[in-house]
Amino acid sequence: MRFTNKVDLPTGLFNLLSYDTYNRSGAKFDLSATTLIDAPQPKRLFKEHHAEVEEDVLDRLWSSMGTAFHALLEEANANDPEMVCEKRFIHEIAGKRISAQIDTYDSRTKRLADMKVTSAWKVVSKDFSKWEAQLNIQAALARMSGWEVEGVEVWVICRDFSRARSKEDNYPNIPIQVIDLPLWSQEDALTYIEERIALHSAVDAPPCTDEDRWATPESFAIKQKGKKRALRVLPTKEKALRWAASQNLTASQFSIEHRPAVYSRCENFCNVARWCEQHNATTMTKGDSSNG
């Protein structure tokens, strides 16, 4: 893999953004918690095309910010004997060496915490399922090492927090959010881990799900002639036509705009998309649709 510098950033910034601190200890393992919760297909393609993969350093800005926060977190807590930071656990499960590195463990509360630097809209969406799975993998491996875990939480740093929107419903009221997540039983956590190991170990990687691809489903917008804003957006053309009929709209009064599905991760954030048959097939289908 090589890094590019498409906007010609100064060397110092290029070095900063291309700096990789992951697994500096050289620990040996087969799968990490973050890999387990993710789709197998991108990981498989990255392994197959590692030498050809390119990533522009500018695309690493937010992850580099997260790395910096984690380094500060560890340094700031170095003199607190009750706070353990950046501890890696490795255990064999279903024939694979599984790794999970915690951000913090407070022995006073017996709680694991993971820090995330992300968009405020992640908090608004309330979709924390991947975080929940990641923290519970960490908890399971910590328990296997003899640690007591009584709770898991994420500390969210909202990188794009807007004070002007902080009074809105569901929007974060402050740029740091502490989110308590459900703690699974050891049995449930190990069952999940084993299921994910099986998925990642399959001979043929399964295609990514819509959730994996950050999909926005296709839709059909009913638009009044001469106006830009849609009157209604529905999931199928048939439903759009039925709705227009229910509003007594004649064919001369409206049009239906097809909005193809958008796969944000594939199109903007996946560095192996060009080798992905699933993505390429989707791109061809969208092209045929727009031409038709």
Residue 207 lies in a domain: no
Q: In what order do the strands lie in the sheet with 230-234?
A: 230-234, 219-224, 254-259
How many structural domains are present in the chain? 2
Block residue for tokens 């975080």 = 131
Which of 201, 232, 253 lies at the terminal end of a domain, its last residue? 201
Within-domain flag for 134: yes
Note the residue count of the chain.
292
* Final residue before a domain boundary, out of 159, 179, 201: 201
Answer yes or no: is 209 within a domain.
no
Calpha distance 180→131 (Å, rounded): 11
Based on the fold, state whether residues 111 and 233 are members of the same structural domain: no
- Write down the pLDDT at residue 288: 60
Residue where a domain terminates, one of 140, 175, 201? 201
Q: Residue 215 carries which DSSP code?
A: E
Sign for the CA dihedral angle at 77, 81, 83, 84 comes to positive
> In terms of domains, do 110 and 249 share one?
no
- Please report the pLDDT score of residue 287 as a whole number: 62
Range of the domain at 274: 215-291
What string of pLDDT tens digits covers the 292 residues of the chain? Answer: 999 999 999 999 999 999 988 877 788 999 999 999 999 999 999 999 999 999 999 999 999 999 999 999 999 999 999 999 999 999 999 999 999 999 999 999 999 999 999 999 999 999 999 999 999 999 999 999 999 999 999 999 999 999 999 999 999 999 999 999 999 999 999 999 999 999 999 999 999 999 999 999 999 999 998 888 999 999 999 999 999 999 999 998 999 999 999 999 999 999 999 999 999 998 877 666 555 4
Whole-prediction pTM: 0.89
176, burial (CB in 10 Å: exposed 0-12, middle 13-18, buried 19+): exposed
- The pLDDT, as a whole number, for residue 155 is 98
Cα dihedral angle (204, 207, 211, 214), rounded to 10 degrees? Answer: 120
Residue 136 CA to residue 231 CA, distance in Å, equals 44
The confidence score (pLDDT) of residue 292 equals 47
Cβ burial of 245 (10 Å; 0-12, 13-18, 19+) is exposed
Domain co-membership, 270 together with 197: no
Output the pLDDT for position 290: 52
Sign of CA dihedral 114, 118, 120, 126: negative
Interacting residues of 260 by C-beta distance below 8 A, sequence separation 6+: 218, 286, 289, 290
